[in-house]
Amino acid sequence: KQAQAQRLLAGLNPQQAQAVQYQGPALLIAAGAGSGKTRVLTRRIAWVMSQWNAWPSQILAITFTNKAAAEMRERLTKLVGSQRAERLWVSTFHSACVRILRRFTHEAGLKSNFTIYDQQDQLRLLKLIETDFNIDVKKYKPRQFSSKISDWKNSLQGAQEVLQTLAPSFTPGVAGTHITGHEKQPELEAMVYGEYQCRLAAANAVDFDDLIMKTVDLLNTSQEAADFYHKRLHYVLVDEYQDTNRAQYEFLRLIAGYEGFAVKRPAWISVVGDSDQSIYAFRGADISNILDFENDFPHAKTILLEQNYRSTQNILDAANAVIAKNEGRKPKKLWTSEGSGDKIIGYAADDARGEARFVTEEIARIRTEENIPYSDVAIMYRTNAQSRLMEEQLVAAGIPYLIVGGTRFYERAEIKNALAYLHALLNPADDISLRRILNEPRRGIGAKTELDVANFAQAHSMSFWEALSHLDEIGLSAAPVKHLRQFVDLMQSMMDSVTGDGVLPSTAIHVMLENSGLVAQYRASQDVEDQSRLENLGQLETVAKEYEANEVNPTLDGFLEQTALVADSDQLPDGDSGRVTLMTLHTAKGLEYPVVFLTGMEEGTFPSARALAGDNDAPDASTNQLEEERRLAYVGITRARKRLYITRAGIRSQWGQAQEMPPSRFLDEIPAQLIDWRREFTATENVRSNGGWGSDNFGDDFDSDFSATSAFGTDEEGFSYGGRSSFGSRYSRSYGSGSFGARSSFGSRDSYG
């Protein structure tokens, strides 16, 4: 035991060691990034078992992702052996709640074998309800309802309660009877919420948010369930506490015995977190949970960790300087004894492709010259759509990569759907593509109908598409026939405008995206995932414009062939030195890499255009989107251990429209002496310095580089980000039309203008 104690404290600083051993009911370990919070939490679990003789079953440890849970269990296996580590309850909030609801199903008001609805099921159900209620699904998207319902659930507002305040006369379960068509939006939302819960119950199903809310209900109302966990659990530990929402917070208080049924003594609760890393406000995360910990839990002890063990001082100074710009935070400074290390390397590329090329060339260079393996390198970006150009360059350079928490661009469902439309329009005999989009977006053509048509086609040896022109002979009922006929009409109308002679691929894609309903389904949504799906589809248009600029005789056929090739060359053999990792900043939370590329450091990319357009004077910190973006920047910078690259593009395209991008404000916030700019210009110089291109390192392949930028739209206001004006006067100068005029001196602009 003594030896074990020594082992568990080995290499910890005094504050860390204190946190591992602290004896008391409530402990908050608050500290900046890379200060060893997760390490301390892991050691504390081992400590509780080995020094205080706790059973593994008396401990509940909550992590933010399943990956983090697996990593923690792995480390604990090393510390206490696999026998004990296996029996530990290490999980996310969702999986913990599923386990509880499976054990106390009846007490929770569920029937055994209840189903968990995913997002798709959820939307299907909401759409059904909208139809029954005669709600215009164009005006009120199912996604709008689902995100509203999610907000309510995350803040623990049950359907009954919501109905009482917003639609007191409505009774769920009596479809349609109370809908007049004159309801105001909040009232309608409440009604749909009520009906939705009613039908979930009828289907013996729960959605993801229900998992937590129902567990909270259960622990509030079932003495048996509450007793079971109160007797059993002596220690509750939580990582990334800053990102808990209201429902998760209540869950913790209930299961630990701070609320609900009386207990002799609540479980000891230890949480770790960093208020500067709270980046999930859009999912209801409430930063005040961590800020108020000392008030919420009596006799709470706070231990601050100060020393950082991850990064060099230069990286930490940059992180400190950026996060210091957020208001109302407790000042804290990260420091390390490791020395200042390399300077941060900055690179401003002319355009997004130039940025991707710099990143790729630099990765190749440091591998050869500095022996840095691919697996030490991570490329981070604000949204998934940004990965496409990186991937292209990495593929071209033969560098193996891996995308965490995302699919490769051409494998993404929304992109595959779009390509399937194009394939089917060009070649309707392509059954696979046609059937993929038959009910995409959903248009009421079920699997059974599809099968009937497929059988008919097979029996008469015709293609699926041909079978669709014999609808009356297939023996389908009226509704499917109607939907199929609409589908055929839609495809036929698009064929005319998409596959005609001389139609540019980008035009074809645009028409297809608009008419097929592929983009419409995501537009109204507040969901960040949908937002990135939308951006990905926009990227597809951009790819097509690039293709057109490179090709003498651009055709849709040729374009599709090219995309197929890129997708194919994705299948790279695994290099013996691993792969470069690509991920969004949100997925990067808690992780670390020796070398990090922070890309797309531009106003409108990062911080995102949405955040720039938002209400950033809001007094409530959690609604201030710019501050949340800044926390995200802080998370990104602090992922780097040895070397940090920050890159930006002077021009970036989205929806086929090139935009001039001013440098991110976060770049300005990093002290200049910390950055070694390999290449830099200001937004205005960007334009002026064009004449000097021959002298910089892009002079050689000027042409190919320009091709990516030459797809200029002439209408800069028409860009999908919309809120251009939200950039404020600070940048307006560099957007003057003069800047676009200057481009035309390269001659080729006319052909695109």
Residue 637 burial (CB count, 10 A): 28
Closest separation between CB of residue 283 and ligand ATP, Å? Answer: 18
Binding mask 575-604 for ligand ATP (x = CB under 6 A): ---------------x-x------------
Q: Is 283 exposed, middle or buried (0-12, 13-18, 19+ CB in 10 A)?
A: middle
Binding to ligand ATP by residue 274, rule CB under 6 A? yes
Pairing of strands 640-654, 657-660: antiparallel
In the complex with Mg ion, the residue whose CB is nearer, 39 or 648, is 39
35 labelled binding-site residue:
yes
In the complex with ligand ATP, the residue whose CB is nearer, 183 or 274, is 274
In angstroms, what CA-CA distances link 302 with 58, 235, 323, 515, 707? Answer: 23, 17, 22, 57, 56
In angstroms, what CA-CA distances link 155 with 162, 213, 280, 708? Answer: 11, 9, 14, 46
Residue type, 34: G
In the complex with ligand ATP, the residue whose CB is nearer, 221 or 375, is 375
* DSSP labels, 194-217: HHHHHHHHHTTEEEHHHHHHHHHH
H runs (alpha helix) in 297-335: 313-323
Q: Six-digit token pair at 228?
A: 């079971």
38 labelled binding-site residue:
yes
Closest separation between CB of residue 37 and Mg ion, Å? Answer: 5
Q: Is 482 a catalytic residue?
A: no
Q: Is 239 a catalytic residue?
A: yes
Q: Is 669 a catalytic residue?
A: no
Q: From the centroid of its chain, how far is CA 628? A: 14
Unique residue bearing structure tokens 């609320």: 259
Q: Is 539 exposed, middle or buried (0-12, 13-18, 19+ CB in 10 A)?
A: buried
Closest separation between CB of residue 297 and Mg ion, Å? Answer: 21
Binding mask 231-260 for Mg ion (x = CB under 5 A): ------------------------------
Using CA atoms in the order 237, 239, 242, 247, what is the torsion angle rounded to 10 degrees?
A: -60
Binding mask 571-600 for Mg ion (x = CB under 5 A): -------------------x----------
- Please compute Rg for the chain using Cα positions: 28
Q: Which stretch binds ligand ATP (CB under 6 A): 31-39, 173-181, 431-439, 694-702?
A: 31-39
Q: Which of 107, 189, 239, 440 is catalytic?
A: 239
Residue 224 burial (CB count, 10 A): 10
The number of residues that bind ligand ATP (CB under 6 A) is: 18
Q: Is 240 a catalytic residue?
A: yes
8 A C-beta contact, residue 95 and residue 270: no
Binding to ligand ATP, residues 293-322 (CB under 6 A)? 309-310
For residue 581, the SS3 value is strand
8 A C-beta contact, residue 689 and residue 681: yes
Binding mask 30-49 for Mg ion (x = CB under 5 A): -------xx-----------
Q: Which of 15, 157, 242, 277 is catalytic?
A: 277
605 labelled binding-site residue:
no
The number of residues that bind Mg ion (CB under 5 A) is: 3
575 labelled binding-site residue:
no
Closest separation between CB of residue 1 and Mg ion, Å? Answer: 28
348 labelled binding-site residue:
no
Binding to ligand ATP by residue 37, rule CB under 6 A? yes
Binding to ligand ATP by residue 33, rule CB under 6 A? yes
Q: Is 682 a catalytic residue?
A: no
Q: Is 639 a catalytic residue?
A: yes
Residue 163, by phi and psi: left (phi above 0), alpha (psi -120 to 50) or beta?
alpha
Binding to ligand ATP by residue 11, rule CB under 6 A? yes
Closest separation between CB of residue 29 and ligand ATP, Å? Answer: 9
Q: Which residue of this chain has its Cβ atom nearest to ligand ATP in the complex?
A: 36
In the complex with ligand ATP, the residue whose CB is nearer, 16 or 599, is 16
8 A C-beta contact, residue 29 and residue 301: no
In the complex with ligand ATP, the residue whose CB is nearer, 334 or 415, is 334
> Binding site for ATP: which residues?
31-38
Interface residues with ligand ATP (CB under 6 A) are 11-13, 16, 31, 33-39, 274, 277, 309-310, 590, 592
Which residues are annotated as catalytic? 37-38, 239-240, 277, 639
